Chains A and B, each alone.
Chain A
């Protein structure tokens, strides 16, 4: 294999690789703005200048292919000087906006100016002025003054999002980025340009000015928006989610995520319609009660029915652990096989990039457990008949809204003798519940989702519920969380009184004589791995940050995996 020497160390490379690719693969930092591992090379920022022996001038590492025997210096005097000059040029027209710029704290220009800049500017003339608040599309705001014209956003739209919507106009120091006349920058992946923009020129309108980046904590999790299960970071300040950003996972979502996931998949966690504490119906009113009362009511009510009078709706929005506990509860305690889930398919809303038709994060996981959309001739379609004919008298709904999916169900549901609902937010079904348990959202619990490719991926709690203490339970903490007391407003964010479904189910099951002996969600998961052979020998540590892929041709034949 050919070898290239970078800063005195030899590295092997595959013919065709550029210097920056070899360096970044081996952990040698070469500063860059316009180069991105997934985008074409444009070579216009000039920040990655390195010295190559026997070449008369400095070369850009992103566009120079490595050659056998090449000797590259990234820290030689000539290379350092070159970078300093490039940095000075880039800063000539860059405004001193850091105090009002959302990018501050995660800005490549700030970082490199600090590490590779000279610390002063010789430019005393008036800086160039350009429009500062241009709304490029529904989610993206553009500040032309801050732009360093690296063209990453243009190349992203063209090459990754396959929507050629942005372009450079004008030349020289007047160059700026625009959409085509009368058109908006509105492709379903538009917000990724905010992440790849090395400066604060492109900002997220939804997150604009909400918080400084250093005030938040980031928790590694999974987006619940569709069956893709993009890896994300959940950014939390004062127990409130403020934004989601994609987390790199080459085989699932690469560096990207869709706008729908980023904008819509966290607001319900902070919403006012969260169910806060367990409710029980008394004189046709849902009344807030404590956990013991709600559980004992559920236990005594459930005893009135037997076997096939029960129907259980599992949830593709809940974790594998929750659904496993529910399945075990149905089979061992209720002694019924009437368990199914409601599919949430949006036909046609799918592309070759990330978005999937199946709008739930865990339907593959449910199928792995053996729960399907219909069971024993029972599904969402036949549910109302069976309720009206009194063959089903008790319905348990976990984290789903059957009435929203099928409005005709409304009348049938009122004919039930008992309706137990586990829900995160108020929905069309919760008002008819006899017993309503508050379920923790994906951002408040541990667990796993299985995506359509068979990736078993972990979610972790980012928001604390009432039972949880950020430091004792190991949640990510920002400086504010670490030092805040109960007297500080900024550390007293709302905590919802909710629990993971498996916890509530286990409590009910144990009161009904079951043996649901779990302390943590991992205990449940270990039991799943003993029962589901595709997951054998897995635990949370093996799943790790990037997930574990189930490889099974049998599952592909059965159309459980794609």
Chain B
């Protein structure tokens, strides 16, 4: 940490300020020619690392959800954002979520649902652009939640590597 000098400790050049002002302007000039950090959002999108926690989504495998509606995500959710209703299916997995809703106004993006899921069926996506104008729009049903597994590959690899 820079030691703060008292006024009486300053030398002559420091005391007249001109040199210091020039020093500061040199720094500005230097950065003018350095690569830019500013991102032109929304034209230019941020590409997140796989560790990023965006909105939770359901993994769709072969056109169907992996979810077996065990309700653990719903139980672990500290904000009570998730509602699951199970029903019976003829598939081998026996049950599927007849209704799966996440209230995105309640969701706090903690990722507990992903962590607890025994089927790797709910994962945190990279989607962070969530805007709604109506309360009902904030409740995401299966239509908005289901995402093909191909789009979620790097997150699935990430959670397997950090288990």
Residues of A within 8 A of B (CB): 98-100, 104, 132-133, 208-210, 212, 214-215, 479-480, 483-484, 487-490
Contacts and interface: CB of A to CB of B under 8 A. Distances in A.
Interface string B112-130: 0000001100000000000
Given A209-B87, A488-B103, 12 more contacts: A100-B94, A133-B94, A208-B88, A209-B69, A212-B70, A212-B71, A212-B75, A479-B80, A483-B80, A487-B135, A489-B83, A489-B101
Nearest to B71: A212
Nearest to B94: A100
B5 interface: no
Contacts of A480: 80
Given A132-B94, A208-B88, A487-B135, A100 B68 contact: yes
B149 interface: no
B159 interface: no
B70 A100 contact: yes
B118 A209 contact: no
Contact of B83 (A100, A208, A490): A490
Interface in B80-127: 80, 83, 86-88, 93-95, 101, 103, 118-119
Interface of B: 68-72, 74-75, 80, 83, 86-88, 93-95, 101, 103, 118-119, 135, 139
A131 to B, nearest CB: 12
A101 to B, nearest CB: 9
Contacts of B88: 208-209
Going nearest first, the 3 A-B pairs with the smallest beta carbon separation are A99-B70, A209-B86, A212-B71
A204 to B, nearest CB: 13
Given A99-B119, A489-B101, A490-B83, A215 B71 contact: yes
A490 B77 CA distance: 14
A104 B69 CA distance: 13
B68 A99 contact: yes
A99 B71 CA distance: 8
A487 B80 CA distance: 12
B157 to A, nearest CB: 22
Given A99-B72, A214-B75, A490-B83, A209 B101 contact: no
Given A209-B88, A214-B75, A489-B101, A99 B118 contact: yes
Contacts of B72: 99
Contacts of B93: 100
Nearest to A208: B88
A445 to B, nearest CB: 29
A12 B70 CA distance: 46
A146 to B, nearest CB: 12
A439 B135 CA distance: 36
A507 B54 CA distance: 57
11 contacts: A99-B118, A100-B70, A100-B95, A208-B88, A209-B86, A210-B86, A214-B75, A215-B71, A215-B74, A215-B75, A488-B103
Contacts of B71: 212, 215
Q: Which of B88, B94, B118 has the most CB of A within 10 A?
A: B94
Nearest to B92: A132
Nearest to A489: B83
Contacts of B87: 209
Contacts of A133: 94
B107 to A, nearest CB: 13
B81 to A, nearest CB: 9
A355 B59 CA distance: 50
Contacts of A104: 70
A487 B136 CA distance: 10
A209 B93 CA distance: 13
A209 B86 CA distance: 6
B80 A488 contact: yes
A233 to B, nearest CB: 20
A208 to B, nearest CB: 7
A117 B83 CA distance: 32
Contacts of B75: 212, 214-215
Contacts of A98: 70, 118
